[in-house]
Amino acid sequence: TPPAVRRPIRDLPDELVSQIAAGEVVERPASVVRELVDNALDAGAAQVTVRLLAGGVRLISVEDDGDGIAREELPLALRRHATSKIASLADLESVATMGFRGEALAAIASVSEMSLLSRSEGQASAFLLDARSGELRPAARGTGTTVEVKELFFSTPARRKFLKTDATELAHCVESVRRHALARPDVGFAIWHEGRLVEQWRAQPLAGGDALARRLADVLGEEFIAQSVPLRHSAGPVTVTGRVGIPDAARARADWQFCYVNGRYVRDRVLTHAARSAYEDVLHGQRQPVYALYVDIDPARVDVNVHPTKIEVRFRDSREVHQAVRHAVENALAAPRAGAGVPLLP
C-alpha cells in the first residue's frame, strides 16, 4: 500500500546525515581502529598505540607521535568533508595518503563520544576538544595526537545489536592493526586490551636488513619466513614485491593473504585470482596459499575512491596488474629456494 500522505522534501538534520554516512564507514570497533590508525600514519607517526576496553565498544584510544593538529584546526578535523590531504581533483587522482575523504572523524563522532587531544609541532601546549560539547581547552601531552572514542553506537542501538562478543570484536581490531603493521614495518605498533598488552610489533629500521621479513616474522611468526620466498618483479608501471609461501605453507583458510596497493590494504579479486593462478600447478585441493603482496603502481592507473572504506580499488588496466602479479609469484615459486624453505633470519 502506498503511503497515505506524501511528505514534503526536506534537508535532513546534519546529525542524521552524519549518522547515515557513518553507517558506510563504521561497521564495528575495528572500522574505527582502521580509520584512526590510517590518520596516525598519514600524520607521519613512528609509534602507534591502540588501547581498547570491551573489544573497543567501551573505549578505543589511538595515540600517535605524528605531527599533530593545530589548536585552530581541531574543530575542522571533526567537520564532514574537511581534510588536509587533498584540495583538488588532481590531488585526488594522485592521492598518496590513506585518507582523503575527510569523513572518518565526523562519522565516528556521530556514533560515539569522541575527544581529540593533540599538540602540533612547535606548539607550546596540547589542546583537548570534546566532540559533543565542542569544548576546547589546554591539556598536556607531547607532539602528536590521541583520539578517544567511547561508547560506540550508544546513540544507534540498532547498530550496537549487531556487535559480537568482546573477544570477537577485539580479534577484528587486532586484525585491522595487523594489516597496517604489514604495510609499515618502519612504524611500531602496540595494542592493549583491558590494560593487558595484546600485541607489540617494534619498528624495524628500513636501512640495513630486510625490514619487511622481520615484521612478517613478528606478526605471522618465524615459520612464515622459513616457509616463504621474497619476490620482486617490475612490468611497466607495476612493481610487485613481498613474500609468498611455499606450497607446503598453505593453510586451510585464506586468512594469510595480504594484498596492498600503493601501501593500502585491499581486498581485490584481480590480485587474489592472479596469485591463486600462479599456484595452479603446485598447490592442489582446497588449501589456501599464504602471501603478502605489495603492488606499487602509478596512482593515475588505480582508482582508490571506489568504496567508502577504501578497501576496494579499481585498476585502469586490470590485465596488466594480473599479469605482473602472476609472473611475480610464479617466478618466486620457481626459484630454487622455494622448494627448500631456508630460513632467512639469523
Look up cell 592507473; give the residue.
301
The entry of ligand ADP, Mg ion, none that residue 103 binds, CB within 5 to 8 Å by partner kind: ligand ADP
- Minimal distance in Å, beta carbon 85 to Mg ion? 8
Shortest-Cβ-distance residue relative to Mg ion:
99
- Return the number of the residue (65 or 330) whose C-beta is nearest ligand ADP: 65
Contact between 318 and ligand ADP (CB under 6 A)?
Answer: no
What CA–CA distance (Å, rounded) separates 63 from 203? 15
The residue within the footprint of ligand ADP, chosen from 65, 103, 148, 218 (CB under 6 A), is 103
Total residues in contact with ligand ADP, by rule CB under 6 A: 21
Contact between 105 and ligand ADP (CB under 6 A)?
Answer: yes
- Minimal distance in Å, beta carbon 257 to ligand ADP? 26
Q: Can you state the percent helix, strand and coil of the chain, rounding each to 5?
A: 35, 25, 40
- Return the number of the residue (86 or 278) whose C-beta is nearest Mg ion: 86
The entry of ligand ADP, Mg ion, none that residue 83 binds, CB within 5 to 8 Å by partner kind: ligand ADP
Strand, helix or coil for residue 226: helix
> Are 235 and 324 spatial neighbours (Cβ–Cβ below 8 Å)?
yes
DSSP 251: B
The residue within the footprint of ligand ADP, chosen from 31, 110, 145, 288 (CB under 6 A), is 145
- Return the number of the residue (78 or 249) whose C-beta is nearest ligand ADP: 78
> Are 216 and 223 spatial neighbours (Cβ–Cβ below 8 Å)?
no
Look up cell 597496517; give the residue.
180
> Are 56 and 163 spatial neighbours (Cβ–Cβ below 8 Å)?
no
The residue within the footprint of Mg ion, chosen from 32, 104, 106, 174 (CB under 5 A), is 104
The entry of ligand ADP, Mg ion, none that residue 69 binds, CB within 5 to 8 Å by partner kind: ligand ADP
Nearest to 149 by CA among 188, 110, 196: 110
Residues 6+ apart with CB under 8 A from 72: none
Contact between 144 and Mg ion (CB under 5 A)?
Answer: no
Nearest to 123 by CA among 136, 99, 139, 107: 139
Looking at 96-104, 196-204, 266-274, 328-336, which segment touches ligand ADP (CB under 6 A)?
A: 96-104
> Are 119 and 127 spatial neighbours (Cβ–Cβ below 8 Å)?
yes
* Residue at 218: amino acid letter: D
Contact between 118 and Mg ion (CB under 5 A)?
Answer: no
Residues 6+ apart with CB under 8 A from 326: 274, 275, 277, 278
- Return the number of the residue (147 or 229) whose C-beta is nearest Mg ion: 147
**Residues near Mg ion, by CB under 5 A:** 39, 99, 104
**Residues near ligand ADP, by CB under 6 A:** 35, 39-40, 43, 64, 66, 68-69, 77, 83-85, 99-106, 145
